[in-house]
């Protein structure tokens, strides 16, 4: 069960990176990037290219977020909820409801952490300093969006 939780946590972090990347590139100040690019900042030039042609980049982000959500749901729904149901079977009064309770707890937990760690927090980080975040993610995102 620890492995499944760790894997879901990694998927939520990956989702956060995609969400942060999206907001950072969409909300960059192009005038600031042009200034940095003129000063020789290669990352700023690369971010400008992503920002000027957002369709491929945004499609890559959406595919990544969707795949991560499906994988987290599959791991949580199939494996983690079954293991939790086995633990809940130790409580005799929960035995008739163990599968429903386990599934509900797993879905609620994954949803909560996905929203906070995988969406809201990364987007807030990206909004506070979009140029810096965009500069950090530009190379990996360019590779993924080939």
Q: Cα separation of 3 and 9, whole Å?
A: 10
User: What is residue 67's predicted lDDT score, i.e. its pLDDT?
Assistant: 95
What DSSP state is assigned to residue 79? Answer: I
- Write out pLDDT tens, residues 51-83: 888 888 899 999 999 999 999 988 877 888 888
Residue pair 19/68 in contact (Cβ under 8 Å)? The answer is no
User: What is residue 24's predicted lDDT score, i.e. its pLDDT?
Assistant: 94
The total number of residues shown for the chain amounts to 146
User: What is residue 79's predicted lDDT score, i.e. its pLDDT?
Assistant: 84
User: What is residue 62's predicted lDDT score, i.e. its pLDDT?
Assistant: 94
Q: What is the mean pLDDT of each run of 10 residues along the chain (146 residues)?
A: 90 96 92 88 88 86 94 85 90 90 92 96 96 91 82
Helices (H) and strands (E) in the chain, counts: 8, 0
Helix axes 2-27 and 54-74, enclosed angle (nearest 10): 160
Give me the domain span that covers residue 80.
2-144
The domain tally of the chain equals 1
Q: Which two tokens stand for residue 125?
A: 């980080």
Residue with tokens 């995102």: 141
Helix (H) or strand (E) holding 144: helix 130-144
């Amino acid at each position: 069960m620890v492995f499944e939780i760790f894997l879901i946590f990694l998927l939520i972090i990956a989702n956060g990176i995609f969400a942060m990347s999206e907001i950072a590139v969409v909300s960059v100040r192009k005038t600031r990037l042009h200034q940095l690019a003129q000063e020789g900042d290669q990352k700023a030039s690369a971010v400008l290219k992503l920002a000027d042609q957002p369709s491929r980049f945004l499609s890559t982000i959406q595919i990544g977020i969707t795949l991560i959500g499906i994988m987290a749901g599959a791991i949580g729904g199939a494996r983690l909820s079954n293991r939790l149901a086995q633990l809940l079977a130790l409580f005799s009064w929960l035995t008739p409801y163990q599968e429903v309770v386990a599934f509900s707890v797993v879905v609620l937990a994954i949803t909560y952490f996905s929203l906070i760690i995988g969406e809201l927090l990364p987007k807030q980080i990206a909004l506070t300093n979009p140029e810096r975040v965009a500069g950090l993610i530009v190379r990996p995102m360019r590779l993924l969006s080939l």
